[in-house]
Amino acid sequence: MVKQPRRLTGFITPEQHSEAPLDLQSTRRKLTFATLPAARHLAKHTLASYNRFLSEAGSAWEYEMLPIRHRQHGEGELIPRVPSSVDGADVFLFGASWDPSFITRSRDELFGSLSAHGLLADDVTLDDFVTGRATIAADTPQQVLTQALIQKLSNANIMETLLYARAFKSQGAAHVTLVMPYWPYGRQEKPTRLKRESTTSRLIADLVVEAGVDGLITYDPHSRALHGNFPEGRFLKKFIDADEEAYKVFKEYKGREDVQFAFLDSGAVDRGDNLRRRLGLDPVIIGKVHHGDVENLGNTGLRPTTRYLLFIEDILGSGTTLKKGITPIVEELRRRNAHLAPGEEPRDVQWIGYISNPLCTKDAEKIVLELSQNYGLKQLNISNSIQLPSSFLKIPCVVEHGLQDLLAKYINAIHYQTSTTQHATSYDD
């Protein structure tokens, strides 16, 4: 019997690959890392993880990030220029729609940023930016101004991603895989009922494919419908499931009698029920609770012995979902504690959450701090799919969990055409 060669597994090094039999070698050529400015933070950490894994595997190789520097025409149009030859390269392009630095900047800094991003000409008056004429009213509220800026800059970042994807492909890259952990417009996967809306998520997918992207790595997209937005077969899709990362955070609470899994709204049931079952926890449906309605507290399924409530959300947003879910339960327990019969012990619960994509506004930072200080939010675990300001990360209950190791492993598996499932979390550990 002819002995079959052992297939490469684990984190593969260039040395291991070159020594493998030809029929086991990947057809993808030179591995190339590139990042757009909005995604630089996560890209830098992912590249460092990739090089560390290579070193730990005994490799002498070390990859560098292909530098992308902005060039613009005088009127503000971007010139997508590839800095060096990428002929035949296997490019992993890091992109991001969200520019987190804007949620903490002052009004003057925001004004100054407009010109730097080509959104405000020097001779434009500041009178009507919010309506879309690229101008700003002097009395525009800070929150409205910030949201308008973020929207425009997010859309500009998406366009920038498309331009550079096309530039890499047109300059000879064999493959362009987009690494974009937070997928833009994921919440617009279907029209709101009785509203005249577009399925913008499908449009973004169409534009990405048309730009020349033939692969995507993203983290916990808002809807599973995103799978159907891309062509089957010829388009490589890797949607990393947040359940895997959340399970690592929550597994110490698995099967405990004093722990339940909370769904902060009706939409969270579809997203988190599989994780709840794997953890062996009973549900608490908080969407049924209304402030001041004593009877509804029992209808949620909250047990008298429960001391910890776990929850998962895909987006933090303004923080109102957290606030509307947590505060009614806590306040109702406090009202009941104020009228205890002799011998009854007061009830209290602590909250432990996981946010897969911490897309948020400045208001969310204030709400998380308030919930931490006054409403028993013990720990809010977040991924680094979106870079948050240091002020948010300094909130005592916030714990950041990096995706860079996981992304590095998936990039390695895709580049060498091995299975990505070997890097998935085991629910039996």
315, two tokens: 């987006």
Residues 6+ apart with CB under 8 A from 163: 78, 80, 211
pLDDT at 385 over 80: yes
- Tens of pLDDT, residue by residue over 206-225, are 999 999 999 999 998 766 67
**1 located within any domain:** no
Whether 226 and 136 map to the same domain: the answer is yes
Whether 207 and 268 map to the same domain: the answer is no
**269 located within any domain:** yes
Taking each helix axis as running N to C, give the angle between helix 40-56 and helix 404-415, from 0 to 180 degrees, rounded to the nearest 10. Answer: 70
Residues 6+ apart with CB under 8 A from 201: 183, 185, 186, 187, 188, 189, 223, 225, 226, 229
Instruction: Read off the pLDDT of each residue in 336-362 and give the average, rounded to a whole number.
Output: 87
**49 located within any domain:** yes
pLDDT at 338 over 50: yes
**2 located within any domain:** no
Whether 352 and 225 map to the same domain: the answer is no
> What pLDDT score was predicted for residue 118?
52
Whether 310 and 353 map to the same domain: the answer is yes
- Tens of pLDDT, residue by residue over 228-265, are 778 887 788 888 888 889 999 999 999 999 999 999 87
- CATH number, residue 123: 3.40.50.2020
Whether 150 and 264 map to the same domain: the answer is no
- Tens of pLDDT, residue by residue over 82-109, are 988 999 999 999 998 765 554 444 445 5
156, two tokens: 């500009």
Whether 179 and 301 map to the same domain: the answer is no
**7 located within any domain:** no
**4 located within any domain:** no
- Whole-angstrom Cα distance, residue 265 to residue 182? 21
Q: What does DSSP say about strands 175-179 and 90-94: parallel, antiparallel, or unpaired?
A: parallel
> What pLDDT score was predicted for residue 45?
96
- Whole-angstrom Cα distance, residue 233 to residue 231? 7
Four-point Cα dihedral 48, 41, 418, 246, nearest 10: 110
Whether 172 and 30 map to the same domain: the answer is yes
pTM of the model: 0.83
> What pLDDT score was predicted for residue 128?
33
In Å, the largest CA–CA distance within the chain is 82
**428 located within any domain:** no
Whether 386 and 414 map to the same domain: the answer is no
Whether 45 and 58 map to the same domain: the answer is yes
Whether 187 and 56 map to the same domain: the answer is yes
Confidence bin at 127 (pLDDT 50/70/90): very low
Number of domains in the chain: 2
Helical ranges in 251-338 per DSSP H:
266-279, 294-299, 320-337
> What pLDDT score was predicted for residue 129?
36
Q: What's the length of the chain?
A: 429
The domain containing residue 168 runs over which residues? 14-240+406-423
Whether 220 and 256 map to the same domain: the answer is no
More confident residue, 291 or 272: 272
Instruction: Read off the pLDDT of each residue in 283-312 and give the average, rounded to a whole number.
Output: 73
Cβ atoms 63, 49 nearer than 8 A: no
- Tens of pLDDT, residue by residue over 133-187, are 333 444 444 555 555 555 556 778 888 999 999 999 999 999 999 999 988 887 7
Whether 68 and 100 map to the same domain: the answer is yes
More confident residue, 107 or 371: 371
| H or E, element range at 242 | helix 242-250
284, two tokens: 């608490």
